[in-house]
Structure formats: structure tokens, C-alpha cells
Amino acid sequence: MAVLTVDRPSMPHPPRRIPLLGDLLDVDVTKPTQNAMACARRLGPVYQRKIFNYVFTFVSGADLATELNDESRFQKHVGIALRNLRPIGRDGLFTAYNSEPNWSKAHNILMPAFTQSAMRSYHQTMLDTVRELIGHWDERCDSSPVEVTPDMTKVTLETIGRTGFGYEFGSFHREEQDPFVGAMVRSLRFAQKASFTLPIPLLDRALKRKAIRRNRADLAYMADVVDEVVRSRRANPGEHRDDLLGLMLSAEDPESGERLDDENVRDQVITFLIAGHETSSGALSFALYYLANNPDVAERARAEIYSMWPQGTDPDPTFEQIPKLRYVRRVLDETLRLWPTAPGYMREAREDTVLGGRYPMKAGEAAFVLLPQLHRDRVWGDDPDAFDPDRFLPANVRKRPGHIYKPFGTGIRSCIGRQFAIHEIVMALALLLHRYDLEPEPDYELEVTELLTLKPEGFRLRLHRR
């Protein structure tokens, strides 16, 4: 999250700042988001942190975030965290700079993949994949607990692989992890650690020589796998023509008339495989945690689900039924309020401006919107840490400012797959609640792990068929 922001003495900062290292002693490199949240609780809705020569500005107050979300004044900024992901996604949708032509080209080409008609075509594959998860969990009912987050990762990775690219990882039919998944996880971990580098480049590279070699091999392996998927599709052009890969290979940008080149197709596929499953798996895992630990909420959700598919039946949901699960959707909304799996986004000033009437920002300077803390701002009520899906009743939503809930980002660079993720997650939650009672381990306290996204760590459930 390195930014172009100037060190402003007038802005709050941690108290133990020292020469050269800056605020490094105040940083937890394994849990940077939670560390930043703790700092915001001490220092307030805007503060700066200096690490070596980098200066970071964090914003978590509703008024300031609303300003940063103003597209006429601010735009997406690709800071150090996203720049460290560039070797993975390059100029894919998530990591592209605003000025790169492939961003708008790919965005225009891929928008039809997320229309209602396109979403309808993905529904059955999503349903079949959740049923594979259910089959996997049925084998463990009333016996050993299930590892929630790894299983949610399996189901969401299979979903985006199958619906988007006609590719199966075989997650529920193999004991060992797919090598692509291992390479992907290691490359994300490498990118996260790269955000904290020594100010002496030669020394930094020397200490990381082995990790750098491993990362290069992982990136090459992921590229080879995706290239083979593309070659196979080109050899069989009649297959999956309307999915994401089909659009990437055949559709033209309506503005420029150009198509994506093969390298950018690869970048987009890798971007979707990572972003398309990481955020959804975390959201599902957190939602199951809150449902298991709030049985009254789970029962209200089941009442809605059973009104559509009675208890004891085998649900066969249609595409049109999923948006009618309004309480289940509120469960998801509240989950993403407390733990938005993408923990924030950076915004840079389009031109010289003043933030909050107090903090000057030059054109190109940026600030990080710290979503989990913004979503706990005082505008959410007296107990913002409590889990309460009724915060998202329409009447309550209308009472709040419009720019304080942003789990999918903001502006034209917000998540293109938002509706895909919502449909996938709401359907999965409905089917799992319909089938199982969720028993949490009695001594488990929520532990949030951080990589590209936020997820529960070590969260297990015992399942009981209803």
C-alpha cells in the first residue's frame, strides 16, 4: 500500500516513530489489516504510517471515505500491494493501471459475461458444484469436523474454473492439493511479503534468493496451465463459447474494435481464478462462522429457506428463486460489513485537492480506505461489532449515508463479478443451512488470517443432518 502521499506532521501517526525505520515497530506484517484497524481505533479516522521511505495514509471515517469515493475527485490507485501482484496478474482487470488500454478493453469485452442472461447460464454449474461440497460433507456428518475455509476454497475455485473457463481442478475427488492451487497460494504469499522490503535492494534480494526462484517457478507453472487451457479451447472453438474465456478469445471491444491478445487473455484468466474464488471463499467461511455462533439468525434464515423448499426435501433451486432469499442476503451483507474479504482499496487525487477541509493532497497522492474499520464507524450504531443482519433492512439502509458500505470496491473499478459472487454465496448458504445444523467447536475464537484476502483460520464445524 505504498503511496505517493507526503509525510504530513499535522496528521496523526503512531507514537514510537524512529529515524530510518519510521513506524516499523508498530507493524504486524502477518496481519497488516487487523494491525491497521487497531491503529485506527487509537489514532482516529485518518492517520499516517511511515515505513522506511514509504508513507501510508489510512482512512476509516465515513465522511472522509465518502469524499474519497467521489469519482470526480478521486480514482483507483495501484499502490505497492497491487504492484506486488502485477507479476501474477499484470494488466488484468484487478491490477491494471488506469491508463493501460487493456483495462477498458477487457472491461468492455467481459461486461456481457455478468448480465442477467449470462448469470442464468452459470446457475446450474454453481448448483452442481455446491452439491459436490454437500456430498463431501455428508460423508463427515455426525463424525469428524469439517475444515470450513479449505472446503469453501474448493467450492469457489471449482465454480469459477468451470463456469468461466470450462476447467475442473477436481477438488472434491483428489486427496492432494492441485499443483495450480499450491503455486497460486505461494505466489500470493510472496507478493504479500514483498510489501515489506528492506531499503537496500541488493541485500533484500540476497536474503530472498530462494523465495524468488520458487516464485518464478510458480508463476511459470500457472502461466503454462492457463496457456494449455487456451490452446485446448482454440482447438475446440465450439465449446463454452459464451463463458468468460469464450468472450476473451472471440469478442471485440465495442469502442476500439480490438480483441485481447493472448498474453492479456492469460492475465485475465489468472486474475479471475484468483480474485473470483478468494473473496467468495472468505465470505462463505465468515458467514458460516456467524451463522453457527448465532443460532437465532440461523433459524430465521432457515424459516425463509424452508418456506421455499420444505424441510426434508432435496432443494432444486431455480435461478429466479435465489434473489428471493432476502434474509439470507442480509446475512451475507452483514458478514461483509464486519469482514469484507477484500479489506480495502486505494484512491488517488485526480488533481490537487483538500481532504476533509484539512489535509492537502497533490494530484496522484493516495489514501487507503480501510473497509473493516469504516464498516464499524459510529454511523452503524452503538454496537458496530455485533452481528445483526437487520442492519440491512431497507428502512435501515435508507437512514445511512450512501458511501460507507463498499465490500466490492467503488467506482468504475469496482468488482465486475459482484452479482456472480452474491448469487453463488447466497445459494450455497441456503443449501447448507437447509441440510445441516452447524455446531461450532466450543473453544474456538475467531482468528482472521490475511493473504490477498481475509479468511477465518482454523475454523471447524461439526455437521448434523436435519
Residues with a known catalytic role: 279, 408, 415
DSSP string computed for 301-313: HHHHHHHHS-TTS
- The Cα–Cα gap between 165 and 269 comes to 8
Phi, psi dihedral angles at 324 (to 5 degrees): -80, -10
Which of 48, 57, 42 lies closest to 369, judged by CA?
57
Q: Which residues pair with 49 in a beta bridge?
A: 56
Sorted by sequence, the CB contacts under 8 Å of residue 161 that are 6+ apart come out as 167, 168, 169, 273
Instruction: Give the rounded distance of the alpha carbon of 199 from its chain centre.
Output: 30
- The Cα–Cα gap between 181 and 379 comes to 40
- The Cα–Cα gap between 264 and 106 comes to 9
- The Cα–Cα gap between 274 and 41 comes to 31
Sign of torsion over alpha carbons 2, 223, 414, 320: negative
Residues 360, 49, 55, CA angle at the centre, nearest 5°? 60
